[in-house]
Structure formats: structure tokens, C-alpha cells
Structure 1
Amino acid sequence: MDSEKILDIRTQLEEDLTWRQDEIRLLRNQLSYINSDDDKKRYRKALLVMLYSHYEGFCYTAFQIYIKSINDEELVRKQVNFHLATCSFTKEFEAYDNVDLKPEHYRTIFKNNLPEEYKLHRFARQIGLVEKINDFWEQSVIIPDEVVNTESNLWPVVLKKLLYRLGLPHDYFKEYEGKINMLVNRRNGISHGRDKEGFEENVYTGIEQSVFSILESIIKLIMSALKEKKYLITS
């Protein structure tokens, strides 16, 4: 991947983060027009819900940009690391997992008298997979969008799963796990009728600062992976 393309990706990521930061800043500034401390606490509930939305939204967008940048390189599977190669095998694995699938060679042998035997069906699918395995490695890497799944609750373990699938350091955000847990717990607490009174300024501010540190770190992580070609099997 050339430097010009990497610079363009960085621009995309930074622009997406900037508008999110600007929106949170705009909303936070409205606190100066609220006189009551209790009302300010309640207003911070809305701020926190919006903050979570931007946290999850940026993570999703950033990792989509990352996989698109790899897809656009027009690499073949044997060139990328095993995590990304495995992501690109989604359709092949789904076909293998389809217990109703009867490979053509299997139908040819047994014709209309297909044995209803699970182990034999599975063996036939394994043969089909092995037959094509060399061809599979020569095919283009196309990582599907569905690989980036935030599960609507982007807990630390979900973020870790995302990083693992994409072949990125799975414990990269370990130091922020406490703040992420607090953010998701608070967001869910608001949705489920808890935290009715809202939040003190120091509680909200601490979470906000941590969230934007995480999002800035995601940019650094993706840039490092692209510059150092960590998406390749030889890196």
C-alpha cells in the first residue's frame, strides 16, 4: 500500500473522529445555559448516550475503512495473515457447515439413493473443501462487512473479539477496559431506567476523555498496521 493511499485513509479516519468530537463539544457546551445542578446531571445522561453512540459508531466505521483498504489492494489469500484470510473464507465455511449440501461428486456416486448419513455427508463436504483448497488460496481477498460486528454493546470483550478477527493486537485497549465497562454499563443503565438522577461532572468528563483517547488510539493502531503491512503474512 503506497504512502498516498495511507495518508488518504488517515484523513478519512481523522475527519470522522473530528465531526464526532465537534458534536459532543457542541452538546456539552449547552450545559452553560442550564442553571440547576440537578438538571445538569440529567442532561449529562443524554450526553453519555450520545457519547456511547459515537464510540460504537467510530469503531465500526474505522474498522470498515481498514478492511476496505485491504480489499482494495486486490491481494490473494495466500498473501495476507491467517486472520484476514480466514475472514475472507466466510462463504466457503458457510457452505461447508451447510448439512443439507450434497457435493456434486457425492451425487454422482450415489445418484438418487443418497445415504442419509451425517458422517458421510460431512466427509463428502470435507473432500469438496480439500479438492478446492489450492484454488481458494489463489483467489482474491474479499473481507465481508459482517466481520465488523459491534453487537450493539461494545464491551471490552467485543472490542477484543473485533481486533482478534482482524489480526490486530487483541489486548491493545486493556488499560481502558474499566472506562469502557463504565460507559456501556451507564448507557444500559439509562436505557433500563437506572441512573435516573444523572451524573456529576467529574464522572462524565472522565468517561468522555477516555472514550476519545480510545478512538484516537484506534487511528494509531490502524495506521501502524497499514504502514508496517501487518495485514500481510510476511509482516
Structure 2
Amino acid sequence: MDKIDIISQIEGELTWRSEELIFLKNQLSIIEKEEDKERYRKSLVVMLYSYYEGFCKSAFQIYINAINSENLKRKDVNLLIRTSSMHEIFLNYGNESKKDSRFNKELPDDSKLHKYSRQVVFIEEFANFLNETVNIPEGVVDTESNLKPVVLKKILYRLGFAFEEIDISENTINKLLGYRNAISHGSKKNGISEEEYNKLEKDVKTLMDTIRIIINKAIISDDYLFKAQ
């Protein structure tokens, strides 16, 4: 893994969004009426949410791709990364329609028995799973259409970050979502003042920078690797 390149990719995702937001914000200078400026800031808030969700999704995906590119064995990565890489395996063994052929005719509807049989096979194959190459699926980074605090925490947890120790600025996220939803649904017809918008933008940029820092730290410190206690 070229750590400098990975960190540079994440920085790039943050930079182009910041530069584009500055460009859009600068259009306020050609709007004369304050009332029209306030209306325009509503579109800036919608874009601000888009940048927040888009950056988080892209940054986490870069992190996943970096780990996958290492061709590590599951036994060599931390427990949560290992578990995420086994997503498809868990789905397969949790498939209730999958029945043990030895009991399929005599006990076709014994769901408990067939579940137990799948568990036996899973345990039997577990050593092999640990020696397979890590491939974390893209679906692990699921923003669920609204990247709420709890959704962000779920992503952090699945990727092995100590989400309970990270200040993800829940108030900022909830405030941003509140504005975005109110604007999208038409319930916020009035515009947004300069002071109101600037405070929100500053907080959201701080939040995005926090995500950048925790991912970069994980890359630098090899936090995705298994470390014996």
C-alpha cells in the first residue's frame, strides 16, 4: 500500500468539493437583493449535504480499496474488517432455503435442524475462511439515503473504527439533515441568512475534516491489521 498516495486521494476528494463550494458561494456576489441571496443559500445547503455524504462515501471506499489491494489473509486483519469481508459468506449460511441434502427428504421442513447443519459446515470451513484473501464489499459503505449520525456510526463500526470514541458532531449532522429535508420537502420556504449558513458550513467542513483525519490515522498506523493483545 502506498500510504502517501491513499492519503492524497482522500485529500483530493475533500479539496475538489471545497473548491466547488467556494465557486458556488462566490455567485452570491452577483446577486443584488438580500432576499434573493437568502433563497440562493438554500441551494448551497443542499449542495453542502451532497458534499458531506459524497465525501464520506468516497473516503471510506478509498480506504476499503486500499485494504483490498493488499491481498491480505483474513487472519491478518482486525476482527471487524475480517467480519465485513465475510459478508457474502454469512448471507449464504444464513439462507434458510439452503437445506442439508441428507435430511431434505425425510425432514424437509425442519428449519432448526437445517440451520444447525449450516452452522456445522460453517465451523468446519472456518479455518479455510481465515486463510482466504480479504475482499471487503462496497455495500459495507451504505449511506442509506440519509447519512444520519447512527448510519455514519454503523459504517465506522463495520470498518473497525472505535466509533464510540469519535466525536462525529451529531448536532451538526442532524442540523444539516434538518435543513436539507426541509428545503427538499418545501417546508422551509424562507431563505437562509448569511450568519446562519456560514455557521453551518464551518461545522460541516470540520466534520468532514474529522472523517479525513481518522481514516488517514488508520492508514498510517495500520489499524486494519490484526494486532495480538
Distance 1:111 1:97, change over 3 A: closer
- Code of the residue aligned with 2:62 in structure 1: it is I
Structure 1 consecutive aligned stretches of length 4 or more whose deviation exceeds 4 Å: none
| Cα distance between partner residues in 2 of 1:80 and 1:34 | 54
Partner of 1:14: 11
Share of identical aligned residues, percent? 46
Question: Unaligned regions of 5+ residues in structure 2, if any?
Answer: none
The C-alpha deviation readout for 1:87-127, integer Å capped at 9, x for no partner, is 0111111011110112xxx31x3464443111111111111
Displacement of 1:176 = 1.6
CA contact (8 A) 2:153 2:163 kept: yes
Q: How does 1:101-112 map to 2 (within 5 A)?
A: 101-102=98-99, 106-107=100-101, 109-110=102-103, 112=105
Superposed displacement of residue 223, structure 1: 1.2
Q: Contact between 2:168 and 2:210, CA under 8 Å: does it hold in 1? A: no
Q: Which residue of 2 aligns with 1:81?
A: 78
Do structure 1's residue 115 and structure 2's residue 108 form an aligned pair? yes
Q: Kindly indicate whether the alpha-carbon contact (under 8 Å) linking 1:150 and 1:159 is maintained by their aligned counterparts in 2.
A: yes
Aligned length, in residue pairs: 228
> Cα 1:207–1:172, aligned 2, differ >3 Å: closer, same or farther?
farther
Q: Please tell me the residue identity of whatever aligns with 2:7.
A: R
Is 2:134 the partner of 1:141? yes
- Unpaired runs of 5+ residues, structure 1, are none
SS at match of 1:174: coil
Which of 83, 93, 97 lines up with 1:96 in the alignment?
A: 93
1:221 aligns with 2:214: yes
The 10-residue stretch of structure 1 (169-178 or 32-41) with the greater mean CA deviation from structure 2 = 169-178
Q: CA deviation at 1:174?
A: 2.6
Correspondence 1:33 to 2:30: yes
Deviations 1:24-70 (A, max 9, x none): 10110111111111111110000000110010000000000001100
Q: Which amino acid aligns with 1:124?
A: S
Query: Which letter maps to 1:189?
Result: A
Q: Name the SS for the 2:160 alignment partner.
A: coil
Query: SS state of the match for residue 63, structure 1?
Result: helix
Normalised by the size of structure 2, how large is the TM-score? 0.95
CA contact (8 A) 1:173 1:214 kept: no
Using the TM superposition, give the Cα deviation of residue 175 of structure 1 relative to its aligned residue in structure 2, in angstroms.
5.7
In 1, Cα distance between equivalents of 2:104 and 2:188: 65
State the shift of 1:171 in Å. 3.6
In 1: Cα distance, 2:45 partner to 2:166 partner: 20
CA distance in 2, matches of 1:117, 1:21: 57
RMSD over aligned CA atoms reads: 1.4
